[in-house]
Homo-oligomer: A and B are copies of this chain.
Amino acid sequence: MTFKEWSTTPPKGWNSWDCYGASVTEEEVRANALYMSEKLKKYGWEYIVVDIQWYEPSADSSQYHPFVPLEMDEFSRLMPSVRRFPSAKGKKGFKPLADDIHRLGLKFGIHIMRGIPRQAVHNNTGLLGTQITARTIASTNSICPWNTDMYGVDASKEGAQLYYNSLMDLYADWGVDFIKVDDIAASTLYGMHKEEIELIRKAIDQTKRPMLLSLSPGPAALKNGAFLLENANMWRLTDDFWDSWNSLSGMFERCERWAPFTRKGNWPDCDMLPLGHIGIRSVDGDGADRQTRFSKAEQRTMVSLWSIFRSPLIFGGELRDNDVWTNSLLTNIEVNKMHDNIFESKQIYRKNGIVVWQAESRETRYFAIFNIDEKTNFVPKEVFQKELKGNEFIDLWEPQKKLTEKTKIVKHDVKLIKMAKEKAE
């Protein structure tokens, strides 16, 4: 059984970054997990992921504190800050939290930075099961462009694989199900760190525990697509995605290019859904505590594109603050079914502000007709006549409304159409 068999449908879950930056607490994680288990689990949502810097005691927002001391064990492995994750006390790490999340019927994920802590390298601390020390395996000049925690690991050095094995063994012991590795898929300084990805792939596989591997940030380069198929379950198409229309409209071209790479176990990733209540402790860039800036039409467009493209769906908002509208985007049974069951999807039309995607499951054909223009538009005549006319179909978002050649799509909105296959052919 290879890692691709661990995720036969695109993953769905929650991640702490969009709300809490580097500073999420155990209480917040538990509360979101509880909400998910009660409200969303039955729709397939299952991963609860703790994002960056759970090992940084003083983290308090989305902005990192450069060069500060990090929680670390004697083998140069970062450990959860007990101040923020009380159940980790006594060196128990994330095991207690993971156990509880499993009890809710959910899965548990963590974020890590590629590499070995700089403090380990400058203090030359030890590694598990070897006399080799941190300074030896550190890549002399491989850093993250935006965070000071780590140095990269030099794959050519003896001890490099051992170190990553010791990390993944620890995470497997904790009961981790999902590992998001950051600063690895698209560094602005170095591009993709392929050798460290290979170290991590082997380290995970030797644990024998199914732990999904998700690579960040993006944009991953298309030329590495074949490599990624053999090494990761998810990888990002863009840099961090937030609630701006420019980012959303730019995703269409990225999805078009990456669609040929999507298959069971490999899910090119459009990034988290910045929906509902987000930015609670975001302070940098455009950050602010807010409801998503996307209009309802844009939210529908985002969920439709992510779904028909088969991106992972990782919710970014504080789940406890979800309203009925927001949940309606996550719990549409027909949309979820499409997301899980289609085996091919692609863009088939793009002109004058209209983008059309088509997908197929065994019995059903889907069309998503997006209006990314700045004004209301009709469904293009050539699309309607070629693909829809004469068939019976419904809009999954508004199944009660009949869609005709005269139907308008307002700016930034979408019609997500389902059609029985017999009729279509």
Residues in chain A within 8 A of chain B (CB atoms):
64, 66-67, 118-119, 121-122, 124, 135, 138, 140-141, 143-148, 189, 222-223, 225-227, 229-230, 256-261, 346-348
Contact = CB atoms under 8 A, between A and B. Distances in A.
Contact of A223 (B144, B222, B346): B222
A300 to B, nearest CB: 24
Nearest to A119: B122
Given A138-B67, A141-B146, A143-B143, A226 B347 contact: yes
Nearest to A253: B223
A67 B124 contact: yes
A141 B140 contact: no
A121 B346 contact: no
Contacts of A222: 222-223, 225
Given A66-B135, A222-B222, A230-B346, 12 more contacts: A64-B140, A66-B138, A67-B124, A67-B138, A122-B122, A140-B147, A141-B147, A226-B259, A226-B346, A229-B260, A229-B346, A230-B348
A261 B258 CA distance: 11
A121 B67 contact: yes
A160 B278 CA distance: 36
Q: How many copies make up the complex?
A: 4
A138 B66 CA distance: 9
A44 B67 CA distance: 48
A311 B122 CA distance: 40
B260 A225 contact: yes
Given A122-B122, A223-B257, A226-B257, A148 B144 contact: no
Q: Which 5 A-B pairs have the closest CB atoms?
A: A66-B140, A222-B222, A122-B122, A67-B135, A189-B189
7 contacts: A66-B135, A67-B121, A119-B122, A140-B148, A223-B257, A226-B260, A230-B348
Contact of A148 (B141, B227, B229): B141
A124 B223 CA distance: 42
B257 A225 contact: yes
Contacts of A257: 223, 225-226
A159 to B, nearest CB: 15
Contact of A67 (B122, B223, B225, B261): B122
Nearest to A225: B260
Contact of A122 (B118, B144, B230): B118
A141 B143 contact: yes
A72 to B, nearest CB: 14
Nearest to A189: B189
Contacts of A122: 67, 118-119, 122
A144 B141 CA distance: 7
A58 to B, nearest CB: 14
Nearest to A69: B122
Most buried by B among A66, A143, A189, A348: A66
Nearest to A190: B189
Contacts of A347: 226
Contacts of A229: 260, 346
A3 to B, nearest CB: 14
A64 B141 CA distance: 12
A381 to B, nearest CB: 16
A50 to B, nearest CB: 23
A148 B142 CA distance: 10
The residue among A122, A144, A146 with the most chain B CB atoms within 10 A of its own CB is A122
A133 to B, nearest CB: 11
Contacts of A148: 140-141
A386 to B, nearest CB: 12
A141 B145 contact: yes
Contacts of A230: 346, 348
A119 to B, nearest CB: 7
A121 B64 CA distance: 16
